Amino acid sequence: MTDIGPAFNEVLKKYDTHIDTSRRKRSKTTDEFLKEAYTINTHISSLTHYLRTIRQSYLSTSKPPHRHHLSRTNSLQSPTTPKIHHHLTDAQRDDIDAHSKQNLRNLNAAIRQLADAEQLRQDTIRQVAQSKRARQGLGALGRWVAGGVLGGGRDKKSPEEEVEEARQNTIKMHRESVVWYLRRKLEEAGEVQRGMMEVRLEREVERSRSVLYKTRGSMAASGSSMQGVESPMTGGGMNGYGDGGVGTGGWGGGRGGKAAQMEEEDRREIERQLSPEQLQLFAQENDEMLKMYEDQLDQIRTAERSMIEISELQTTLAANLDVQSAQIDQLAADSFNTRENVGGGNKELKKAAERKSTARMVFFASCGLSLFLIGWDLLI
């Protein structure tokens, strides 16, 4: 790219000007409200970035590798930020959920404190203005003598007061917008966390169903193979005891009860054919399977509780956003009305300066009459 700096400098010389080459320092924010708002915004952005970065590992259902490699520590990583793993366990996912929920609560409390502090400041300024206006005493008479409009009323504000009120309304509207923006960003962070937990819950349910389906299939296959092995023995036993003549025609209305009785007899017969070690192995597998299902159910319940808490927080934030939006609209309308009032006050000041007011004429006439009477008295 062609450097046009020299040509630009020649143009500046024609107009007798130059570029200030001194490096200007960035002005630091002196407003404590904006400092706190910037801090909260930084924390919200960090939380949102962390959730989006950890999303793939959080939702991954692949098994971790058998080999563990040592990872290098990033010097730029914040000590308060949890370490990002490529493969997460259920305990680590629960820790991420708890950490994220705690951060959301803390940030919501910080925003609420910021809004309360701003409301306190506004109330203090309003009370100071009212007390200052009450201490003016003859301020209304002074404004009337100075050329104010007659019949303006006792509560009519001066142009300076109108300008100050407009400035305070502008500051109020700006800070209300800042609080609204922070709550909106916090709601987006909560939405990211809630979406991750919803997907995790859905995948846990699907995995439980898949495991249950595979278990049922394997149990059905083992049951059919066991029945195939034991059916000749069972049939011979039945014929040996003379029960082979029992048919479907003999069940009648008690078919359900006899079916349950036959299942119980088959189960006992299978248990008699199995060794104690095999029975103990089956019981152990059943206990492990039951424990696995209970653990998955506890995880699902924990995820549901977390989702309910985040949903309640988002509902509160949404309600606050609606209320604040209405307040900002009202402030915008008040600011527009104040701007019109300030413009009208400036016009009235110009008119009062151009024309001689009635009060000024009365004052000068009274002074002239008094001086005339004093001079007349001295002459006589």
What is the full per-residue pLDDT of the chain (380 aa) written as tens digits? 577 888 888 887 777 776 655 555 555 556 889 999 999 999 999 999 999 999 888 888 776 655 544 344 333 334 344 455 567 888 888 888 888 888 988 999 999 999 999 889 888 988 888 887 776 655 555 555 544 444 444 456 677 777 888 888 888 888 888 999 998 899 889 888 888 888 887 887 777 666 655 555 555 555 544 444 444 434 444 444 344 444 444 444 455 566 777 777 777 777 677 777 777 777 787 777 777 777 777 777 777 777 777 777 777 777 777 776 776 777 667 666 666 666 666 666 666 666 656 667 777 788 888 888 888 877 76
Distance CA 261, CA 271 (A): 15
Q: Name the token pair of 309.
A: 């808490």
- Nearest-5° Cα angle at 305, 304 to 308: 85
Q: For residues 91 and 115, what is the distance between their CA atoms, to the nearest angstrom?
A: 36
Q: Dig out the tokens for 328 from the structure.
A: 């900002």
pLDDT of residue 276: 77
**Strand blocks (E) in the chain:** none
Question: In sequence order, what are the residues at sequence separation of 6 or more whose Cβ sits closer than 8 angstroms to the Cβ of residue 114?
Answer: 33, 36, 37, 40, 179, 182
**Any idea what the Cα angle at residue 109 is, between residues 104 and 115, rounded to 5°?**
125
- Residue 252's pLDDT is what? 46
Please spell the DSSP secondary structure of 223-286, one letter per residue. HHHHHHHHHHHHHHHHHHTT-TT--GGGTGGGHHHHHHHHHHHHHHHHHHHS-HHHHHHHHHHH
Q: What's the whole-model pTM score?
A: 0.54
* Six token digits for residue 80: 């308060």
3-state helix, strand, coil in the chain (%, to 5): 80, 0, 20
Domain chopping of the chain, boundaries: 31-60+85-134+158-219+279-344
What letter does residue 25 receive in the DSSP assignment? Answer: P
On the CB side of 180, CA atoms within 13 Å amount to 16
First to last CA, the chain: 97
The span from the CA of 364 to the CA of 141, in Å, is: 16
Q: Across the chain, which distance is largest between two alpha carbons, in Å?
A: 163
Where b means 16+ CB within 10 Å and e means fewer, 40-50 reads bbebbeebbeb
Mutual angle of helices 32-59 and 159-240, in 10-degree steps: 20
Whether the CB-CB separation of 58 and 192 falls below 8 Å is answered with no
What CATH number belongs to 31-60+85-134+158-219+279-344?
1.20.58
pLDDT score recorded for residue 71: 41
What confidence score (pLDDT) does residue 235 get?
43
- Of 111, 293, 114, 333, give the one whose Cα is nearest residue 204: 293
Residue keyed to tokens 């609209």: 329
- Say which residues have a Cβ less than 8 Å from residue 145's Cβ, sequence separation at least 6: 359, 360, 363
Outline where DSSP puts E strands in 144-266: none
Determine contact, residues 358/150, Cβ cutoff 8 Å: yes
Cα gap 127→163, rounded to integer Å: 17
C-alpha angle 50-53-59 in degrees, rounded to nearest 5: 110
Q: What is the pLDDT of residue 292?
A: 75
